[in-house]
Amino acid sequence: MCASNLDFTYANRRELSELLAESKYYCVEELSDAAEKAVRSLREREREAQDTVVPICRVPLITSKKEEQVRACRSTVNFPQIS
C-alpha cells in the first residue's frame, strides 16, 4: 500500500483520529504518517476558518405583544415611534 496516494480531503476529525489510532496500533507506519499529516492539515484549515468572519443576520420572530414589549425594553437602539 502506498499511503502517499490516499486522499483525506473529505475526512473529518473523528475519522482521521480513528484511522491514526488504528494505524499506530497495527504498526502501519506509512499510513500513520499520512494520517498525522492529514490531521495537521485539518487543524490548519480549522484555524484559518476561525480567522474568517462570516456575517450572520439574525431577525427575531416576535409572536406576541408581550414578547414585543420585552424586546423593546431590552433594545439599545431608539427607533422612532410610528403612529
Instruction: Determine contact, residues 71/62, Cβ cutoff 8 Å.
Output: yes
The pLDDT, as a whole number, for residue 12 is 87
Measured N-to-C along each axis, helices 29-51 and 13-25 cross at an angle, to the nearest 10 degrees, of 160
The pLDDT, as a whole number, for residue 31 is 92
The pLDDT, as a whole number, for residue 76 is 65
pLDDT in tens, the chain (83 residues): 565 677 887 888 899 999 999 999 999 999 999 999 999 999 998 888 777 777 788 887 888 999 888 888 876 666 666 76
Instruction: Determine contact, residues 23/31, Cβ cutoff 8 Å.
Output: yes
- Give CA angle at 63 (81, 68), nearest 5°: 30
Sketch the domain layout of the chain as residue ranges.
3-74
The pLDDT, as a whole number, for residue 78 is 63
Helix boundaries (H) for the chain: 13-25, 29-51, 65-74
pTM of the shown model: 0.54
